Amino acid sequence: MGKFGLSFSLKRAVGITAIKQKISKATGVPLTKQGLERKVGGALLSAVTGGKKKKSKRR
């Protein structure tokens, strides 16, 4: 049996999650491990290739 859609997070209850989100938005630097890896990886890739990534158009 599952949790029936109910869950509790101490970090959200205390407000840590909201503070981290505000810091990330203000600085433009993600605070999650995955987000930071993507940001650093993109910067390295553009530095190696010498330009910005092309954005493909979605139809």
Per-domain boundaries in the chain: 11-46
Confidence grade of residue 5 (pLDDT, cut at 50, 70, 90): confident
pTM of the full predicted structure? 0.53
Among 28, 29, 45, 41, residue whose Cα is nearest residue 53: 45
Among 42, 40, 20, 22, residue whose Cα is nearest residue 31: 20
Which is more confident, 16 or 51? 16
d(CA 6, CA 24): 27
Q: Read off the pLDDT of residues 21-48 as tens digits, 9 standing for 90 and up.
A: 999 999 988 888 999 899 889 888 888 8
